[in-house]
A and B are shown apart, each in its own frame.
Chain A
Amino acid sequence: MSLLTLDHLSLSRNDTPVLRDISLSIEPGECVGLLGPNGAGKSTLMRAALGLVPASGQSSLARLRAADRAARVAWLPQAREIAWPVSVAHLVSLGAMARGRAEDHPSVAAAMARMGLETYRDRVATALSGGEQARVLLARALAQDTPLLMADEPVAGLDPAQQIRSMRVLRALADEGRGIVVSLHDLGLAARHCTRLLVLHRGALVADGPPETVLTPDLLAGVFDIIAHRADTPEGPSFQPLATVSQ
């Protein structure tokens, strides 16, 4: 059964279309990279799919009751907000709480271990560096222990090693049978770690398929406005943007 089904999802703001007639479904075992230039509608698509912003069309998750939805999907917003000086262990346990589970549910310890946070338990979350906070917040989403995880630019601002580690965690979750939807700006990271890529351009879904068939020079020029050098390494493809197509 699909973890998420979108049926003709559209959304306009002040008569400007932000999402145009998007239909797709996400299956267990898929690590889906959501790509597109700034303003293409990546965040809005995920938030509309979750029912956090009203949109026309159908989303299988948006019509669920809030508590039921929290059992089906975990959401990691782009804004890394931690309002109060709580401990790392407590912050991660909020994921279990969203499912009505106890603070010491095994999913909490598992999420901490997966993100390498065992020694951070009693640290104050607000006193951590930005990169450490990003890991803690991803652990919080993992602790929700849902079949589907949607993450909005979870690796933005992380150092290269942490970017790779975070993507490995997401891919491992997909390989274990969960579904992942992750928006990214690094094309190489997306191509190497995702099983499927979706490309948004001005609110429309313009490509959907395995990384090999999606990231063509024509698409990079037409959607991203770049000419990029592609190198194939033993780890997978890498893309180095060299120039813009337009001025």
Chain B
Amino acid sequence: MRIAVYLPLLLSVIAPLGARPLSERCEPRLATWLLTASALILGVATTISLGLLAITGLIGVPFLAGLGHWSARTAQINDPAEPPVALLAGLLLGGALLTAARMLWRRARSIASAIWDAACMPTPDGLVIVEDEAPDAYALPGLPGRVVVSTGMLRTLDKAEHDILLAHERAHLAAHHYLFVALAGLGAAANPLLRPFATAVTYTVERWADEQAARATGDRRRVARAVGKAALAAHGAPAPRLSTLGFRGVLGRRGPLAGAGPVPRRVAALLAPPLTRRPGLTLVTTACLALTMVSTVAATHDLHDLLEVVGIADHHGPHHLDPDRSNHTASPFG
């Protein structure tokens, strides 16, 4: 039980370090799938691990054992989960379930009200234009979803750029990107260590839509320009600065982009050659996720065996006990 139950917890500390590199080196569609799966699988696995540790701790408590007629002593001997560890696991489990449930409830309500709003916007072709000087454009999930664009944004961009904007937002709706964001967010709500995965997914869905728009219009530089123009217009009208000092290494590997926000990174990615699928990264990620799932199954199985030994679960089949410990097994049926 020991290694298997702790392995997902250990991986949830290490794996998030790979989230950002994956989001920037792997083709965005594949990256989105890998990152969302990582957040979700690790989130579920770590929650199960906390649950297993808490249960193991509980069955070792003599008072509860007395109430439930099982052997606390056997439990302690077979799986001596330290009481403080079990207590901590129990508290973390409570927190994880609570925040995950709250996030799920909120997001479900937000998506439901977005769908309602989309249905309330009359439009023949899924495009809604609102009178607003402020340049703004977004995709609103719905059945079907809507692309909402302000007149300010339309004025900012030229005709070809309007097509890019539409292709980008329609890609969000067609591929249900809000679901990827929500699922990755759910994993991160259950385990805050996984937050880098959720952040990376919000970036890769934008990249995915950018590349989709580039495919639709056939010009990645033009998409880069449209994204940058829209962002600068939305940013307002700050006094243009003269300094371009310090930006010499913009396209270099360790340039200022390392600390930059998502928009400049998207633009730089579009100006650079397209990313490939990176089989190596994909393999490492899937191997990590497979290891996590195997550990969780093994740990759950171990707990089942322990419950059998102490007499909570039904006996069936052999359980893994050291022969020299079997004399401690006080059968409640005896």
On whether the two chains bind one another, the answer is: no
**A residues lining the B interface (CB < 8 Å):** none
